[in-house]
Amino acid sequence: MDDWDSVARAAQERGDWDEAIAVVGSVAECLSPDPYLHNAHLWHMDLLAKAGRLDELARRGESDQCARRRLDRLLYEQGRGSDLRHRAERGDKTAFYMIVRLLRDRGDERAARQAVADIDQTDTYATQLAHEPRTHVGRNGSS
């Protein structure tokens, strides 16, 4: 384990998001061929989410697919359907799938199907999500 890794983990454990984000961000590299640096990037995006830095994730997400996906997942976890729908309507496919899943999780199959019809009825994956049988697994993985 590198020194930066130890420093970042210690900062994360004590809830010092600014330090953890700065330390991990200094070595993180999106889609790096070095999996260690790419994993640091994913960790960096997780830290931004845990710190509640949605604006920064959104800004980064304009050119960084990892940030965009992490933001979409955070919005889904927080149940922020209107934000997901807005992002989906602007072409964010991950947000599109997340809004359909969120509506299904809420038991609103009709709204999930309507979202597909409104946003992109040609998307076969979204259509499949909207029509699949409802499971009893919640957003956090609990039954």
Q: What is the percent of the chain where pLDDT is above 90? A: 88
For residue range 13-59, what is the model confidence (pLDDT) as tens digits?
999 999 999 999 999 999 899 999 999 999 999 999 999 999 999 99
| Helices and strands of the chain, counted as H and E runs | 9, 0
For residue range 83-118, what is the model confidence (pLDDT) as tens digits?
999 999 999 999 999 999 999 999 999 999 999 999
Q: Under 8 Å CB-to-CB from 44, ≥6 apart: which residues?
A: 21, 24, 25, 28
Residue 143's pLDDT is: 41
Q: What is the percent of the chain where pLDDT is above 70? A: 92
In the block, which residue shows the tokens 């499949």? 128
Q: Is the Cβ–Cβ distance between 97 and 126 less than 8 Å? A: yes
Distance CA 77, CA 73 (A): 6
- Give the pLDDT band of residue 133 (cuts 50, 70, 90): confident
Mean pLDDT of the chain: 91
Distance CA 119, CA 27 (A): 38
pLDDT at 135 over 50: yes
Phi-psi sector, 133: left (phi>0), alpha (psi -120 to 50), beta: beta
